[in-house]
Amino acid sequence: MAKNKSGMEIDKKSFRELEKNLMSLEKLATQKRLIKTSMKKAMQPVADAAQSAAPVDEGDLRDSIIVTDKLNKTQKRLERKEGKHSFVMYAGAGSPKGHLLEFGTEETSPQPYLRPAWQTEKENVLNILKDEMAARIQKAIKRQDRARAKAAKG
């Protein structure tokens, strides 16, 4: 196990094994879908913790906290300009109020709810991601093997 910059312990050997098994899948679309669904499930506890810690009782902010892989217009433009495409899952508020509450303004003090949610759930995210990907990869490999056997028969 190795610690990364944020102090989280990461079992690199397990993730290397997952990567090797993932690359054994023939279809890139299957690989991408598997990663996306696993990441979305892994990040959900962060969104849930942020919703429960949001500094408002109800309304747009609390309801807008979701897990998504979508970028806003500015983020898309920056990504295109830099010539890279990242595959990232985000947990956060879709409401513009979220940023103002998280970091504060000149008139209001910060009321962080996303950062504490990440801090409490980050280890859980990695564990869920590892377990989800392992299970989904095994299912996909079995499906791929059945499809190969069926193609060989007929």
Would 58 be classed as within a structural domain?
Answer: yes
Q: Domain tally for the chain?
A: 1
The 8-class DSSP code of residue 92 comes to E
Q: How far is CA 37 from CA 63, 67, 73, 135, 152, in A?
A: 21, 11, 23, 12, 30
Q: Is the pLDDT of residue 89 over 70?
A: yes
Mean pLDDT, range 30-55, rounded to an integer: 92
Would 11 be classed as within a structural domain?
Answer: no
Would 154 be classed as within a structural domain?
Answer: no
Would 128 be classed as within a structural domain?
Answer: yes
How many residues comprise the chain? 154
Would 94 be classed as within a structural domain?
Answer: yes
Q: Do residues 39 and 89 make contact, with C-beta atoms less than 8 angstroms apart?
A: yes
Q: Is the pLDDT of residue 3 over 60?
A: no
For residue 93, the enclosing domain spans 46-137
Q: How far apart (Å, rounded) are the C-alpha atoms in residues 123 and 6?
A: 11
Mean pLDDT, range 22-26, rounded to an integer: 90
Which pLDDT score, from 0 to 100, does residue 125 have? 93
Would 21 be classed as within a structural domain?
Answer: no
Mean pLDDT, range 90-111, rounded to an integer: 88
Q: State the pTM of this model.
A: 0.80
Distance between terminal CA atoms of the chain? 46
| pLDDT, tens digit, 9 for 90 and up, residues 130-142 | 999 999 999 999 9
